[in-house]
Structure 1
Amino acid sequence: MTATAVALAATLTMGSGLAAETIRATSGFGPDHSLATAIYPEIGARLEEFTQGGWSVEDTPSGMVAPNEMVAGLRDGKTDLGAVVLPYFPELYAESSLPSELSLIGSDSRAISAATTEYLVTCDECRAEFAANGQVYLGSDTTPSYNLLTTQPVRNAEDLRGMRIRVGAPIFAAFITKLGGVVVQAPSSELADALSRNAVAGTFDGDQEIIGGGVRDQIKFVTDIGLGVYNGAAAAVASQSLWDRMSPEDRAALARAAQYGIAKGIDTFRTQADEARKVEGIEFIEMDDSLQSARDAFIDEQLTNAARILADRGVTDSQAKAYRYAALIGKWEHLITPEMTPEDLAQLRYDEIFADLDMAAFPR
């Protein structure tokens, strides 16, 4: 055998002795989003490392499967790996959306992401919802705290009345509606276009959206509300068809790689939020007493009624499950330290959530 043939044979038999395979991924929110710039590239790099080149990831940031098409895209095999935004599909993910309904609990996005991931991985009903849609859940990311990002100033509660605000989850829609705003539900990938057409006057989002969403030239004001986070995006969801093609060892490698990607994505969100505070031409507004009172009253009301709201949406034993989720946030707030690197966080997430699972059987 020639040297060239030997090299080719080695290339084709990397990993566990099988030909190298490529995962067709769709991050889906455009090339500037952290899914495309941080999470999926890191998943790909780590997966190649953990499988000794046996698997790679090729991402299509936009065009192949839109966010509101992701359930069907994964189920039907149009893509192998994607981000499922659970609040877009409430009828399919009632149980899995519990952390989203409780997104006002906690303030550290790293702890909330880890708690959300552990909750969904260890929730029988949640795993069943993903399985029913031909999917295997591998982790959720979380944004920094949510503020009002607008084209005109919101200095008090009355200023919001009548403004069209894009939101991405029911809980935030409830807050905007309560203050007299007009809710527009649309993917963040459509925000720049909606702003340019004056279809919306802003978005209720984390500051990172100014950078990641490419709207730094359109957003002129940020009113600091600090109301919850967005933890409804299942950032790494594999299709069942992909999972069935993978050995238990390769499944474990993908689960581990996903934690590295998500940890890097959360760090990117935090960095982008910091960068947004330095963008020239954006005024950051401290909320006045009217907004503070409305915010505090909304939090009290939501947390008081959370179990009933969840039960109305079909969540069984909602009170006990809400307590379990809150306890997981407390656990992760204790585990995560301020100086922890994204790499340290990723390995901790894998060790605590996935390492002891039987990957031959998971997610059953």
Structure 2
Amino acid sequence: MTNLTKFVFVGALAASAPTVSKADANLIIAASLPEVHFWVGKHMNLFADAIEERTDGDISFTRFYAGEITSVGRELDGLQGGSIDVAAPLLAPYHEGTFPLSDVTQLPTLGTTSLIETNAFLKLMDSDVELADGKTFYEYEIEPKGIHAWPVGTTSAYAINFAGVEPESAEDLNGMPLRAGSALHTIFLEELGSTPVTMPSSASYEALSRGTVEGTILSVADWRSYSLQDVLTYSITGVAVGHWGSYIAISDSAWQQLSDEQKEIWDQTARDIAIENAELIDAQDVEVAEEAAAAGIKFVDVAAIPEGLRSAIESASTATWRRWIEQTEEAGLPGRATAQLWAELVQAEGAELPQGVEELLVSE
């Protein structure tokens, strides 16, 4: 039994054991993001609709959007404090230091899509590989928080996007202020020689408009959520500066309200909707890129940019893996074992690693 589903059944239930009957559940499900975001309109709503349908209404939801109850990075507080039952999504990277191993999905890759990364993420959550101290990934990241969680579809590949500039060399990026949304983005931009400016995506439009930053690390599909197609002018694609992974999570107290049968339905539905969400995100990535290109925004694959700039991006990608492993290990966590497992999983799904990463992972 996988780590992600082992809590559905307690012990080895006999085949003839009856399903425990519990009262109908009406759960508060909340998003800190607006409905236009693909993790809300194309995940939270789809998930809630499917659960209500598959349980014949025995589980229902009262839905809140756009931070009506809990704000970005405070979703775990809402779950643990009881103000919400379900966070959809729980934005793990904004909970600084709380989900340290979850950042592994943001390590740079090549040729990846949301569907590739989401399949790998589901397998990472299910993995029974012990990373350290007899603990799996799920046991490190999820179980101690008093919640139960499943991946949402990861973002599509994060691109390097600019407003009003088209860098031609590595030197052009030296000191350039670029928006970073996470610790991994900060590492990558530092290795690139740029100046990372940390802020949530919701603050990017104003920062780009005012010239506070000259670009942002963000997936193209995400542009629509923040109207960034109105300010961005140039995008380097083809190298994934990670994929942002997050969760749909339910508090343990709400989980215990559900019968075994309802828990099984919930688990399968979360998996189904994660894949559907990934497919919709990939479709939106293509759609937004086509609309933006028609409006005059320039997209250039990393393979077509000047050699010096491409080399700098490749070196920064590999260095990001190295620094993340080192920093995580220094914090007493199994960074190398997590990175090794993640590399195996994404490659099995068809991804490629930046040059030098495989050698890095086997070195001591």
**TM-score, structure 1 as length reference:** 0.77
What one-letter code is carried by the residue in structure 2 that aligns with 1:200? V
* CA drift at 1:204: 0.4
Instruction: Report the 3-state secondary structure (helix = DSSP H, G, I; strand = E; otherwise coil) of the residue aligned with 1:203.
Output: strand
Tell me the equivalent position of 2:198: 185
Q: How many residues are matched?
A: 317
Tell me the equivalent position of 1:275: 287
1:92 and 2:98 are equivalent in the alignment: yes
* CA drift at 1:169: 2.4
**Is 1:148–1:225's contact at 8 Å kept on the other side of the alignment?**
no
**Is 1:206–1:229's contact at 8 Å kept on the other side of the alignment?**
no
**Is 2:106–2:242's contact at 8 Å kept on the other side of the alignment?**
no
Alignment of 1:105-116 (within 5 A): 107-116=112-121
What one-letter code is carried by the residue in structure 2 that aligns with 1:203? T
> Partners in 2 of 1:115 and 1:126 — Cα distance?
14
Instruction: Report the 3-state secondary structure (helix = DSSP H, G, I; strand = E; otherwise coil) of the residue aligned with 2:228.
Output: coil
1:167 and 2:180 are equivalent in the alignment: yes
Structure 1 runs not aligned, ≥5 long: 1-14, 335-364
Find 2:39's aligned residue among 21, 35, 38: 35
What one-letter code is carried by the residue in structure 2 that aligns with 1:119? L
**Is 1:121–1:137's contact at 8 Å kept on the other side of the alignment?**
no
> Aligned in 2, Cα 1:228/1:201: closer, same or farther, shift over 3 Å?
closer
1:53 and 2:57 are equivalent in the alignment: yes
Alignment of 1:63-142 (within 5 A): 63=67, 64-82=69-87, 83-97=89-103, 99-100=104-105, 102-104=107-109, 107-122=112-127, 124=136, 126-142=138-154
Q: Which moved more, 1:50-59 or 1:202-211?
A: 50-59
**Is 2:241–2:317's contact at 8 Å kept on the other side of the alignment?**
no
Instruction: Report the 3-state secondary structure (helix = DSSP H, G, I; strand = E; otherwise coil) of the residue aligned with 2:73.
Output: helix
What one-letter code is carried by the residue in structure 1 that aligns with 2:86? L
What one-letter code is carried by the residue in structure 1 that aligns with 2:114? S
> Partners in 2 of 1:176 and 1:305 — Cα distance?
12
Q: Deviations over 1:271-328 (max 9, x none)?
A: 2211222221322245322220011212333445554333123223x43343333233
Alignment of 1:137-216 (within 5 A): 137-156=149-168, 157-216=170-229
**Is 1:23–1:58's contact at 8 Å kept on the other side of the alignment?**
yes
> Partners in 2 of 1:154 and 1:206 — Cα distance?
18
Structure 2 runs not aligned, ≥5 long: 1-18, 128-134, 352-364
What one-letter code is carried by the residue in structure 2 that aligns with 1:127? E
Find 2:339's aligned residue among 303, 322, 325: 322
* CA drift at 1:125: 5.5
Q: Which moved more, 1:67-76 or 1:173-182?
A: 173-182
What one-letter code is carried by the residue in structure 2 that aligns with 1:319? R
> Partners in 1 of 2:329 and 2:81 — Cα distance?
31
**Is 1:146–1:207's contact at 8 Å kept on the other side of the alignment?**
yes
Q: Deviations over 1:79-102 (max 9, x none)?
A: 2222223232342223444x2364
Identity of aligned residues (%): 21
> Partners in 2 of 1:254 and 1:214 — Cα distance?
34
Q: RMSD between aligned alpha carbons? A: 2.7
**Is 1:121–1:138's contact at 8 Å kept on the other side of the alignment?**
no
Instruction: Report the 3-state secondary structure (helix = DSSP H, G, I; strand = E; otherwise coil) of the residue aligned with 2:61.
Output: strand
Tell me the equivalent position of 2:27: 23
**TM-score, structure 2 as length reference:** 0.77
Alignment of 1:300-315 (within 5 A): 300-304=318-322, 307-315=325-333
Instruction: Report the 3-state secondary structure (helix = DSSP H, G, I; strand = E; otherwise coil) of the residue aligned with 1:284.
Output: strand
> Partners in 2 of 1:85 and 1:181 — Cα distance?
26
> Aligned in 2, Cα 1:181/1:304: closer, same or farther, shift over 3 Å?
closer
Tell me the equivalent position of 1:221: 234
> Partners in 2 of 1:130 and 1:105 — Cα distance?
28
Instruction: Report the 3-state secondary structure (helix = DSSP H, G, I; strand = E; otherwise coil) of the residue aligned with 1:31.
Output: coil
What one-letter code is carried by the residue in structure 2 that aligns with 1:179? L
